[in-house]
Structure formats: C-alpha cells, structure tokens
Amino acid sequence: MQNETPAAVAARFTGRPVSGERRLSGTLAEVTLGDGRTVMVKRGDGERAAWAEAAGLRWLAEAGTVRIPTVHGRDARWLVTDRVATGTPSAGAAERFGRELAALHASGARAFGAPPPGGPEDAYIGLAPMRNVTGSDWPRWYAEHRVLPYLRSAVDQGTVRRTEAPVIERVCERLPELAGPAEPPARLHGDLWNGNVLWGADGHTWLIDPAAHGGHRETDLAMLHLFGCPHLDRVLDGYQEVAPLAAGRPDRIGLHQLFPLLVHAVLFGRGYAEQALAAAESALRI
C-alpha cells in the first residue's frame, strides 16, 4: 500500500466506488465517491499524525457541540474524513460558534495535557511534535510541556538567541501569579487558528485539523486572536453567554500565545521568535 493513491484509500475506508480525484497538495486530495459525496484524503506527515488527528476529531465530536467532520478511517499513513462545503462567515454564525466552543471546552478533559482517548502521547501540532504529558497544575504543566520544550528547540536552532531566552523563562517562573484564577482542564481543539475554522455553507462553523488535548480554554481563544478570525468580537460575545471568562483575560492573551508562537518560531523562523519575545514582555507587565 506504499504507493496507494488517494482514490484507492478513499475506496478502502468508505467501502464505496470512486468517481474522481483532485489533488490539492502533496498531502491532501478531494475524492468524489460514486454516490456524489466528497471526502478529504490526507497523508500524515509523521508516524503518528493520522492517528493523533483522527483521535482528536472523534474526541471533539463526542462533545456534540461544534460541528466536526466524520472520520471514515485512518491507518499509519492516511486519514479520510468528510469534506465540508464552505460558505461566507456571518455574525450570527460567529455568535453560535462562540456558544458551541464554550460548550466544547466545558465538556472537559481528565487532566491538563491529556490526549484524546485512544490517541498517542507523542502527537503533533501542525508539523511540530507535541507531547501530551499530563499534569494537575496548569501553570507548571504549561511551562514544562508547552513553552519550554519549544523555547529550547528555538534556542538550539538559533531562532531565539540565548541572551533572549531569559525573558520567556521569567514568564514561566511567574506563571502561578500571572495565570489568573485556577480553572479545570478544558477540551481544547489545540490548534485553533483561522485556517482550521471552516464557515460552512450550512450556516454552521466546523473545526478541522486539531491538536486536541486537555488545556486552558483561554489558549484556544488566544489562537483566534493571534491569527485572526472573522467576527471575533461576536464569537467572544457568544462564548461569554455560555461560560463567562475570568476577569483580566485580555491581559493574558500574550501569555497563552507563547506556546503557538514558539511552535511557529521552530517551524518558520525568526519573525515568530520576535513575536514570542514581545508576548513574553507583555505578559510580564500584567
């Protein structure tokens, strides 16, 4: 099966004949089934990528809140899901998404860092490895398993200079006082940038490509701020209706952005390192 085509993969996992295939990239294709439905066929970039993504999608879907594409199957190399027909973002859909996202977070996780049931401990966020090691104390867990591993990688690469690292290390040391009120582990999408939020033609909002794990709900919201989201103010209005956020959240956005910014620094270079350093400086002024 090493040279299997996306069309063959789709037929294998859905049990249906295929009428067409369209390659979108080297790792992604749309495949049309004989009954007219379209599925997405994705080739994993890492040994556990398809496994982690499939487990994450199923865990998020189990909450019955935000719409999640159905997983038709996966193996060590491939993942097949339903295709989402996209439309135009609207304020009403954004408010509904906010309410659904709040409910998703409230469905919880067994611990900070907990992987989805059946998912691997060694997972991914985008192309970067991400270890789902559990902890009961969010500030300590966030520092040890989300910020510092990527800071060390960025320093080793030279993307963050060794003389710059202490400002981020100081944030980690002060996390217990900077983090705000303690909260229970939330069920996070984990990679909630705008590209993973699909505004469906059905008027609903759909989530794809998770790096799902148990975490702090403000981390997902900080990702929406970081990379932009249509009608974000309405998303937050809807969220607050269902699960009001702790006072001071806007001041903590940079704190929660440290993790994705350092991941991007490792993957994409110095520009994101500079943003991470600025976020750290901002967090220290809370």
pLDDT tens per residue across span 205-239 = 999 999 999 999 999 999 999 988 999 999 999 99
| Contact between residue 201 and residue 88 where contact means Cβ atoms under 8 Å apart | no
Amino acid at site 135: G
Which residue carries 């994101």 as its tokens?
272
Each residue's pLDDT tens digit, 257-276:
999 999 999 999 999 999 99
Which of the four pLDDT bands, split at 50, 70 and 90, describes residue 73? very high
Residue 13 has pLDDT above 80, yes or no: yes
Distance CA 151, CA 148 (A): 5
Euclidean distance between CA atoms 247 and 266, whole angstroms:
32
- The values of phi and psi at residue 199, to 5°, are -90, 105
- Indicate whether 1 pLDDT > 80: no
pLDDT tens for 74-128 read: 998 999 999 999 999 999 999 999 999 999 999 999 999 999 999 999 999 988 9
pLDDT digits (tens, 9 = 90+) for 180-199: 999 999 999 999 999 999 99
Q: What are the pLDDT digits (tens) for 22-57?
A: 999 989 999 999 999 999 999 987 778 999 999 999
Give the whole-angstrom CA distance, residue 264 versus residue 273: 8
**What is the pLDDT, as a whole number, of residue 44?**
85
pLDDT at 3: 80
Instruction: State both tokens at 98.
Output: 């906010």
- Residue 191 annotated as catalytic: yes
pTM recorded for the entire structure: 0.95
CA dist., res. 116 & res. 54, Å (int) = 9
User: Could you read off the pLDDT of 117-161 as tens digits, one per residue?
Assistant: 999 999 999 889 999 999 999 999 999 999 999 999 999 999 999
User: Catalytic: which of 45, 75, 137, 191?
Assistant: 191
Start-end of CATH 3.30.200.20 domains in the chain: 6-82
Q: Token pair for residue 18?
A: 């295929």
Domain spanning 6-82, CATH architecture: 2-Layer Sandwich (3.30)
Residue range(s) of every CATH 1.20.1270.240 domain in the chain: 111-193+211-228+247-284
Residue 171 tokens, joined: 């944030």
What was the pLDDT predicted at 26? 87
Binning the chain into helix, strand and coil, the percentages to the nearest 5 are 45, 20, 35
The CA distance from 72 to 10, in Å, is: 9
Structure token pair of residue 232: 């974000």
Residue 2's pLDDT is: 60
The Cβ of residue 35 has, within 10 Å, a number of other Cβ atoms equal to: 9
| C-alpha dist (Å) from residue 271 to 91, 154, 241, 278 | 32, 12, 36, 11
Identify the CATH number of the domain defined by range 111-193+211-228+247-284.
1.20.1270.240
